[in-house]
Amino acid sequence: MAKEVLEPRWILLYIPVYIYGIWDSYRTSIDLNKVYLLAEHENANFINFKITSMEINYLDKRKPWVAVMWSFFMPGAGQVYIHRIVVAFFLVTWTIIIVYFSRVLESVDLLVSGDINYAKEILNPQWLMFLPSVYFFSIYDAYVNTVENNKLFDSEQRTYLKKKYQNKHFNLPLNLIKRSK
């Protein structure tokens, strides 16, 4: 079935793009992990509020299940919820393009109307195959980035409270520490 769907004119482009995507993701994650370890070790400051021409972005705590729910309803909506506007724009744009060229909405309309044969006939499987990738990436990305933003928020709050509200000379009595555990 895969042979029937693959476009021979594009087959040589699928593989290099896929391999490059894997390699670049791995390389970037290694580099970002090194930067994270250095920043964590140095207790580096980071920007928690930023206004640009593209967006107003601020660090706050979000619920991962809400991001997943919005991405489930429409790929890219979970990214809007967590203020990743550029990623959301690309996800929404590609979802619309894929849905349009796969003719999935027309097919669903015909399926509901009872014309099952014509509904199957008008579907474009080459475009339809992209939909699960975009859909599940959107859900996964929204969840992971919400969890990581929450960790960043907790770290920022911890650092802020230590700097602003903890007296350097105050020692918590040892018996109070044992009771709280």
pLDDT digits (tens, 9 = 90+) for 94-115: 999 999 999 998 998 888 889 8
- Residue 156 has what pLDDT? 80
Is 63 in a helix, a strand, or coil?
coil
Report the pLDDT averaged over residues 81-99. Answer: 91
Identify the top-confidence range among 40-44, 119-123, 169-173: 119-123
Report the pLDDT averaged over residues 148-157. Answer: 85
pLDDT digits (tens, 9 = 90+) for 129-139: 999 999 999 99
Which of the pair, 28 or 80, is modelled with greater confidence?
80
What would you report as the CA-atom Rg of the chain, rounded to the nearest whole angstrom?
Answer: 23
Confirm if 86 and 73 have CB atoms less than 8 A apart.
Answer: no
pLDDT at 43 exceeding the cut of 80: no
- Residue 74 has what pLDDT? 92
Which of the pair, 181 or 148, is modelled with greater confidence?
148
Distances (CA, A) of 25 to 84, 152, 163: 18, 21, 36
Q: What percent of the chain has pLDDT over 70?
A: 81
pLDDT at 177 exceeding the cut of 80: no
- pTM score, whole prediction: 0.67
Dist CA 153 CA 49 (whole Å): 11
Q: Where are the beta strands (DSSP E) in 73-181?
A: none
pLDDT at 179 exceeding the cut of 60: no
- Residue 175 has what pLDDT? 56
